[in-house]
Amino acid sequence: MSNSTTVQSVDRAIAILEILAREGATRVTDLAAELDVHKSTAFRLLAALEQGGLVEQSGDRGRYRLGFGVIRLAGAATAQLDLARESRPVCLRLAETVGETVNVAVAQDGATVNISQVRGPAAISGHNWVGQRTPSHATSSGKVLLAFGALRLPDGELERFTPRTITSPDALGLAEIRERGWAVTVEELEVGLNAVAAPVRGADGSVVAAVSASGPSYRLTPERLPEVGELLARGAREISERIGHYG
């Protein structure tokens, strides 16, 4: 299948979802007519969407409606938006206190993804981490998510990014992270960049995110990381309470 054909199929699948959202349960023939495609093409697209739980057949024979998978995706998106919104006041205060960039990251498709960022008054880099996937074993947020079971390490050897990247799973110190309540990276993703992160818990007590502070190694020194780690741990507990965890 060519790239253009694949893109066309994706466009049509999105169109089907939009039609079902607008019209409710709809017959295959009507979907095919609105998309201006053969009925068999509409069936094929619906079968793929049905396999993913995004559409389902309604009680009326030959009609389809949006499936529960759409609710699941919407719920995940809403949860991330709520987390980003509720964590922002705490992150603003942490960034001011620590003087460095503060991020909130979540586990997504086996990687660590930053969903919000606040730059501290001393931050010198304009790098925007929001939306970026970062390697879990080489970031403080990723180590937190690994330590508390929100992420799993990939099979095989861990990728090296700097001479200080930890490539042995046993050397990551995940048990120690769970015990002390925060994780650090010292020039493990980028030379000259250090970071520390703490876990954010959801209403059920599970770790759903990590809040981190990162900055240049000459300012966010290894000696300073424990102090910042405790600040972040307190901030993470406050964020957890704001999203419904009390414990």
Q: Are 93 and 235 in contact (CB under 8 A)?
A: yes
Confidence of residue 86 (pLDDT cuts 50, 70, 90): confident
**From residue 131, how far is each of 119, 127, 187, 201 by CA, in Å?**
16, 12, 21, 21
pLDDT, one tens digit per residue, over 44-85 is 899 888 888 888 887 666 788 888 777 666 655 555 657 888
Q: Which domain holds residue 165?
A: 77-242
Task: Give the rounded percent of residues in the chain with a pLDDT score beyond 90.
Answer: 48
More confident residue, 124 or 226: 226
| The model scores a pTM over 0.75 | no
Q: Are 208 and 165 in contact (CB under 8 A)?
A: no
What CATH number does the domain containing 53 carry? 1.10.10.10
Residue 116's CB is within 10 A of a number of other CB atoms, namely 21
Q: Does pLDDT of 120 surpass 90?
A: no
Q: What is the DSSP secondary structure assignment for residue 162, as one 8-state letter?
A: S
What CATH number does the domain containing 146 carry? 3.30.450.40
Q: Are 231 and 177 in contact (CB under 8 A)?
A: no
Verify that 140 and 197 share a domain, yes or no. yes
pLDDT, one tens digit per residue, over 230-240 is 999 999 999 99
* Residue whose C-alpha is closest to residue 28's, from 6, 10, 50, 11: 50
State the helix-helix crossing angle for 3-23 and 28-35, rounded to 10 degrees: 120
Which of 32, 66, 100 delimits the end of a domain? 66
Verify that 197 and 124 share a domain, yes or no. yes
Confidence of residue 90 (pLDDT cuts 50, 70, 90): very high
Verify that 84 and 62 share a domain, yes or no. no
Verify that 59 and 94 share a domain, yes or no. no
Range 32-51 average pLDDT = 89
Which of 16, 42, 66 delimits the end of a domain? 66
Q: Does pLDDT of 5 surpass 60?
A: yes
Q: How many domains does the chain have?
A: 2
